[in-house]
Amino acid sequence: MRLDYHAIMQSDIVQFAIGKDQKRFWIHTALSCSFPKGMFQSSILSKTDEVVFGRCCEFLYSGDYSVPLPISNPSGGNGEQSRNNKEPSRESIGRWDPMKLKENLFHPAKFPNTYVLLTERFDQAILYESSKVLNADPEVNYAEVFLSHAEVYRFSYRTDWVSLCALSLNRLVHLLANFTLFEERTGDIVRLLKFVFEESEYMENMRDILRDYAVWNVEILMQDADFQELLNRVPSLEKAIFHSMWK
């Protein structure tokens, strides 16, 4: 989709009041008409986080949105660090072989097709595709990066904003697929799982992808006490993971 920026800047301005604090946003009318109709419900606007809405405005103007940079702090920080019950023994590592899975979205033989299906849903060029995340430091916290994409996805899911749904899901999948899951970083993933499976309504595509990610990394995640507690609180997640381990 090619934008006529001259026409956009010449158009009128429309105001939006967002969130409980009614923060004001001003957007050019030529772009505001691209908002999905579901967004204009008062129940949506009053409960929308202003930072999330700001990212949606970025998407309108640029076709992409920004997220926080990873934070360098030991073992997860801000209360979400990995809590291992015990150090896994050398003998315990490697008992689970995810390469035997045939249906998992993160299997190297299947992931390229999954990625293609997601990118086909865009009506704009993908701006970030050439950039790959190769985190080499277990002290770098990605929790807020993951959550930012998930928050944008939840908003676009609630408002039926198809193109933004596809973009946020694509960016999260791309990040997860290139994220080295160190033992010190399982807390980042558990925080994401909590947000999607405990704090949000049912979002099928997001949950299916995170279920497959959890299955692909189940051996290392099971070393995390918070992950085990999450499975106890959300038995549907535990059941879905167990069933997917044999596909």
pLDDT digits (tens, 9 = 90+) for 130-166: 446 568 899 999 999 999 999 999 999 999 998 899 8
CA dist 226 and 210 (Å) reads 16
**DSSP one-letter string for 148-192:** HHHHHHHHHHHHT-HHHHHHHHHHHHHHHHT----GGGHHHHHHH
Amino acid letter, residue 142: Y
pLDDT at residue number 125: 44
List of the chain residues with pLDDT < 50 = 1, 76-79, 85-92, 124-131
pLDDT at residue number 86: 46
pLDDT at residue number 197: 96
Pairs from 67-70 (Cβ < 8 Å, separation ≥ 24): 67/144, 67/145, 67/148, 67/149, 67/171, 68/144, 68/145, 68/148, 69/145, 70/135, 70/140, 70/141, 70/142, 70/144, 70/145
pLDDT at residue number 11: 81
Query: Parallel, antiparallel, or unpaired: how do β-strands 71-72 and 13-18 relate?
Result: unpaired
